[in-house]
């Protein structure tokens, strides 16, 4: 962290004896407004829109041009003072309005529509858990007996994952 910005989002800090503190404070609030519970119009966009509305945000693409030059991967938001940018940080999330899914910033960049979890609960009941062992293909032999064994394995796996009741 530098002496004049915060460590994570590089929000401007007030300093003792600073003139026009309200400008620094308002800039920090504008950046918080962009980053907190963010919703973006689209992601991977390289050219700023012609007529953005205050509060609209985009995730800048890998080859930004114009007012977005040098801001690859950043969260760009239009404010009364013009474009404000929040640098991409691992863990930053945004709702992508155009794709109707969550975007997450990872060490590899922004990923779209990926859900990472150890398990999924619906109304307190686990419906998806860790991947179970593979179910072997049915072997040769008595068709009915092999088919029953294979179906029993499939049902056991579905129950273990919580996809069907036990």
Residue-averaged pLDDT of the chain: 84
- What is d(CA 79, CA 66) in angstroms, rounded to the nearest whole number? 17
pLDDT at 20: 76
Asked if residue 78 lies in contact with residue 53, where contact means CB atoms within 8 angstroms, the answer is yes
pLDDT at 110: 95
Question: pLDDT tens-digit profile of 76-107?
Answer: 999 888 998 988 989 999 999 999 999 999 99
**The two structure tokens encoding residue 27:** 């800039």
List beta partners, residue 77: 57, 84
Beta pairing, strands 120-122 & 125-128: antiparallel
Q: Which residues contact 56 (CB under 8 A, 6 or more apart)?
A: 41, 49, 77, 78
**The two structure tokens encoding residue 137:** 């293909």
Residue 46: alpha-carbon gap to chain centroid: 19
- Asked if pLDDT for residue 1 goes beyond 70, the answer is no
| Rg value, the chain, Cα | 25
Q: Count of CB atoms within 10 A of residue 121's CB?
A: 12
- Asked if pLDDT for residue 59 goes beyond 80, the answer is yes
Question: pLDDT tens-digit profile of 27-58?
Answer: 767 667 667 778 999 999 999 999 999 889 99
pLDDT at 160: 82
């Amino acid at each position: 962290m530098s002496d004049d910005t915060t460590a994570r989002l590089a929000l401007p800090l007030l300093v003792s004896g600073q003139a026009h503190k309200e400008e620094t404070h308002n800039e920090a609030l504008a950046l918080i407004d962009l980053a907190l519970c963010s919703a973006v119009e689209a992601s991977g966009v390289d050219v700023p829109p012609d007529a953005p509305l205050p509060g609209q945000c985009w995730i800048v693409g890998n080859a930004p041009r114009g007012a977005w030059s040098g801001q690859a991967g950043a969260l760009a938001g239009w404010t009364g003072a013009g474009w404000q940018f929040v640098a991409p940080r691992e863990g930053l999330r945004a709702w992508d309005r155009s794709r109707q899914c969550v975007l997450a910033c990872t060490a590899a960049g922004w990923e779209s529509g990926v859900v990472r979890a150890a398990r999924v609960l619906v109304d307190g009941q686990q419906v998806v858990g860790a991947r179970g062992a593979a179910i072997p293909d049915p072997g040769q032999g008595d068709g009915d007996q092999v088919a029953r064994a294979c179906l029993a394995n499939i049902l056991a796996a579905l129950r273990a994952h919580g996809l069907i009741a036990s």
